[in-house]
Amino acid sequence: MTDERSVLDAYEALADEFAARAPTKPFNADLERPSTRQLFPELDGLSVLDAGCGPGITTEELLDGGAHVVGLDVSSKMLGHAKARTDRDAAFVRADLSRPLPFRSDTFDLVHASLAFDYVEDWQSLFSELARVLRPDGLVVCSVQHPVAETQRLDPDDYFEVETVTETWTDFGDPVAVPFHRRPLETLLNPILEAGFRLERVREAKPTKQFREKRPEAYERVSKEPTFLCLRARHDP
């Protein structure tokens, strides 16, 4: 099991540089976020939980679309950046996605999560909670690390095991050790289906032309190999 404290410590350490760099960092701004955004429904008037909102990048986009947004994150420093970035009528809650969510049942129309669920080991409990806080017919739109990409990159001894991995990130200032969970495709999809969701759309993230302009040396690889998996699932109890 991942040490929850180590995840929190990592993101507290990353918060300032992440908030400064992630809005334009190619793998975030020009690969993952555009692909996930294509799965959004019409946002105007929806009640949305931005789960693992980080510094509020997508929180701001959801607000721009006319949604009523609650941003949730385990890191108080990330939430501070999110509040400063949005400077609007969003609400923010400090909470851990690996624990029961501090919301009433049938509260949200949409849950969005950008690369946040990889830090939660128990997806059965996670998606059971998401089903509880979503209204009937509500949506989860999320991105996760692609299982094929993680297998190629990490070369696990056993693909079928859910494995805790710690990597050192150097793209956001000083090196920071960040733990997460690598999981096979069946362990990724089955908890979603078992929680009463119907999978509607699957996108394997592809880079934009802005990515090619910023990172031409990486564009050839990420335009032909998987990096992120983006999903839209409907609560269909």
Does the residue 75 lie in any domain?
Answer: yes
111 located within any domain: yes
pLDDT over threshold 80, residue 23: yes
List pLDDT tens digits, range 137-172.
Answer: 999 999 999 999 999 999 999 999 999 999 999 999
Token code pair at residue 3: 């040490």
3-state secondary structure of 155: coil
Q: State the pTM of this model.
A: 0.95
Residue that is written with structure tokens 């495709």 in the block = 185
Percent of the chain with pLDDT over 70: 98
Per residue in 166-223, pLDDT (tens digit) is: 999 999 989 999 999 999 999 999 999 999 999 999 999 999 999 999 999 999 999 9
On whether residue 173 sits in a domain, the answer given is no
CB-based burial of residue 50 (10 Å sphere; 0-12 exposed, 13-18 middle, 19+ buried)? Answer: buried
pLDDT score, position 50 = 98
Whether 113 maps to a domain, the answer reads: yes
Number of domains observed in the structure of the chain: 1
**Is 130 within the bounds of a domain?**
yes
Q: Rounded to whole angstroms, how far apart are CA atoms 207 and 32?
A: 8
The distance from CA 16 to its chain's CA centroid, rounded to whole angstroms, is 19
The answer to whether position 163 is within a domain reads no
As a whole number, the mean pLDDT across the chain is 95
The answer to the question of residue 230 being in a domain is: yes
pLDDT band at 5 (very low <50, low <70, confident <90, very high): low
Q: Would residue 157 count as lying in a domain? A: no
Can you give the residue range of the structural domain that contains 130?
Answer: 4-145+185-235
CATH number assigned to the domain comprising residue 114: 3.40.50.150
The pLDDT-based confidence of 6 (bands split at 50, 70, 90) is confident
Predicted local distance difference test score (pLDDT) of residue 2: 46
